[in-house]
């Protein structure tokens, strides 16, 4: 009975996606947000099946399956993502499907380590989540807008569902198109429209569909299912706008950046360690230490980056960035962890940019002191 239900559900979903693909906006590419988690995997699976059901002569619309690598992704998750991307890429080539697989990354001057260790940004928290926009939204938005500029519009296909959370449900309802079209205008990207093919599915529906049907690009979904079991939960959602940002780095989102200090505890990495993957323990230790030093006054400058001392409405001092000495300490500790961990955690190019930022910070501090001395002498 269950198999019959999931089979009928899958047939219905594939037919809906097929119909949408063949709709009048033939020239507009589809951009499928693919995090490698359960929801985006199901969407990619269904889109792939829909393409296979369409005659080759009618496969006019390109489908871009894009992922985002923040350069500080959870190691097991990024390994799984790379593996599935390669399977999709190979299958699309063999089957002659109009599917392109791509990964967006932040520009290195805006990477997590360059901003934190180079510029001294304090580690992100709930009130100062500077990472999501720079590491996720900007790189992916640039990719989408590039396709919009080429084709005049683009359709962003997302695996968001109403039952993920009450806030996600409200956001979906707010921007749901009131016409018969399944597309809604993107909230922040002109020329982009959003299509949500699994918006009404429950979490059980998603897992049953993945468990009952092998991916059309080959293999099974068993590795994905095991990944969730080991990590004790779910993934950070695909983030393509500031409205999606609150879902990144919450207690309900466990797959994400291994450096995430927005969450109180990294459940995914701890779940992997508890499952016997003890090599990730050192990453948890570094992340916890990074979180612990955030508000220690001895590691923060008195002035903000603009050289001014700032206070909040209650008269409390707002500390500036990490001191250059603290940044040097963080880099030294990160390099020690990298050596012990045995795999790259920070790129050589990032280290070069960091040292350049330190030089500019020190020269800037000297210039500000000289200006202050000059002003005093003039007085």
Give the distance from CA 39 to its chain's centroid.
14
342: left (phi over 0), alpha (psi -120 to 50) or beta: left
Average pLDDT, whole number, for the chain? 86
Identify the three-state secondary structure at position 155. strand
The token pair that represents 201 in the structure block: 């599915």
CB 78 within 8 A of CB 283: no
What counts of helices (H) and strands (E) characterise the chain?
13, 8
What pLDDT score was predicted for residue 314? 78
Instruction: Name the pairing type of β-strands 192-195 and 154-157.
Output: parallel
What pLDDT score was predicted for residue 347? 98
Query: Taking Cα atoms as reference points, which of 42, 51, 44 lies closest to residue 9?
Result: 42
CB 208 within 8 A of CB 225: no
What pLDDT score was predicted for residue 241? 58
**Pairwise CA distance, residues 80 & 310, whole Å:** 45
What pLDDT score was predicted for residue 133? 93
Query: Taking Cα atoms as reference points, which of 235, 150, 234, 243 lies closest to residue 191?
Result: 150
In the chain, what are the domain boundaries? Answer: 2-108+130-228
Query: Taking Cα atoms as reference points, which of 343, 30, 294 lies closest to residue 158?
Result: 30
The DSSP symbol for 154 reads E
What pLDDT score was predicted for residue 317? 73
What is the CATH number that goes with domain 2-108+130-228? 3.40.50.620
Q: Which residues pair with 310 in a beta bridge?
A: 318
Going from the C-alpha of 355 to that of each of 67, 112, 120, 136, 290, the distances in angstroms are 30, 15, 12, 24, 19
The DSSP symbol for 255 reads B
How much of the chain is in helix, strand and coil states, percent to nearest 5?
Answer: 55, 10, 35
**Pairwise CA distance, residues 68 & 64, whole Å:** 13
CB 171 within 8 A of CB 243: yes
**Pairwise CA distance, residues 25 & 20, whole Å:** 9
CB 159 within 8 A of CB 238: yes
The token pair that represents 79 in the structure block: 């390994």
Q: pLDDT tens per residue, the chain (379 residues)?
A: 556 888 999 999 999 999 999 987 567 999 999 999 999 999 999 999 999 999 999 999 999 999 999 999 999 889 999 999 999 999 999 999 999 999 999 999 999 999 999 999 999 998 888 999 999 999 999 999 999 999 999 999 999 998 865 444 444 444 454 334 589 999 889 999 999 999 999 999 999 999 999 999 999 999 999 888 887 655 555 655 566 555 565 554 457 899 999 988 888 888 888 888 999 999 999 999 999 999 999 999 988 776 777 777 777 777 889 999 999 999 999 999 999 999 999 999 999 999 999 998 877 664 555 444 444 444 4
- Give this prediction's pTM: 0.85
The token pair that represents 364 in the structure block: 């800037």
- Calculate ∠ Cα 30-33-38, nearest 5°: 130
The token pair that represents 147 in the structure block: 């396709």
**Pairwise CA distance, residues 171 & 288, whole Å:** 32
Instruction: Name the pairing type of β-strands 99-104 and 63-68.
Output: parallel
Identify the three-state secondary structure at position 40. helix
Query: Taking Cα atoms as reference points, which of 146, 115, 104, 127 lies closest to residue 238?
Result: 104
**Pairwise CA distance, residues 37 & 197, whole Å:** 16
What pLDDT score was predicted for residue 26? 64
pLDDT digits (tens, 9 = 90+) for 302-313: 887 767 777 777
Render 65-119 in DSSP notation, one character per residue: EEEE--SSB-HHHHHHHHHHHHHHHHHHHHTT--EEEEEE---GGGSHHIIIIIS
């Amino acid at each position: 009975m269950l198999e019959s239900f999931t089979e009928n559900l899958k047939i219905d979903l594939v037919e809906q996606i097929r119909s949408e693909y063949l709709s009048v906006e033939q020239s507009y590419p589809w951009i499928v947000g693919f995090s490698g988690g359960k929801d985006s995997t199901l969407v990619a699976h269904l889109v792939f099946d829909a393409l296979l059901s369409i005659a080759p002569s009618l496969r006019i619309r390109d489908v871009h399956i894009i992922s985002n690598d923040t350069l500080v992704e959870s190691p097991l998750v990024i390994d799984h993502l790379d593996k599935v991307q390669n399977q999709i890429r190979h299958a699309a080539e063999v089957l002659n499907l109009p599917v392109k697989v791509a990964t967006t990354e932040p520009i290195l001057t805006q990477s997590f380590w360059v901003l934190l260790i180079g510029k001294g940004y304090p580690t992100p928290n709930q009130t100062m989540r500077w990472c999501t926009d720079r590491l996720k939204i900007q790189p992916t938005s640039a990719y989408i807008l590039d396709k919009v500029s080429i084709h005049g519009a683009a359709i962003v296909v997302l695996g968001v569902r109403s039952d993920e959370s009450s806030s996600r449900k409200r956001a979906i309802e707010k921007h749901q198109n009131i016409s018969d079209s399944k597309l809604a205008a993107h909230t922040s990207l002109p020329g982009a429209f959003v299509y949500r093919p699994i918006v009404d599915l429950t979490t059980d529906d998603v897992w049953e569909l993945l468990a009952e049907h092998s991916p059309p690009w080959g293999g099974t979904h068993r590795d994905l299912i095991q990944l969730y079991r080991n990590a004790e939960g779910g993934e950070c959602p695909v983030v393509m706008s500031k409205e999606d940002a609150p879902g990144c780095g919450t207690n309900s989102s466990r797959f994400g950046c291994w450096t995430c200090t927005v969450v109180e505890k990294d459940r995914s990495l701890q779940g992997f360690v508890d499952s016997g993957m003890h090599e990730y323990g050192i990453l948890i230790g570094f992340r916890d230490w990074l979180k612990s030093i955030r508000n220690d006054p001895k590691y923060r400058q008195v002035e903000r980056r603009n050289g001014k001392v700032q206070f909040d409405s209650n008269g409390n001092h707002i500390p500036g960035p990490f001191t250059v000495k603290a940044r040097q300490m963080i880099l030294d500790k990160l390099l020690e962890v990298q050596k012990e961990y045995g795999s790259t955690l920070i790129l050589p190019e990032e280290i070069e940019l960091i040292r350049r930022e330190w030089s500019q910070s020190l020269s800037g501090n000297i210039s500000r002191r000289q200006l202050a001395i000059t002003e005093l002498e003039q007085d």
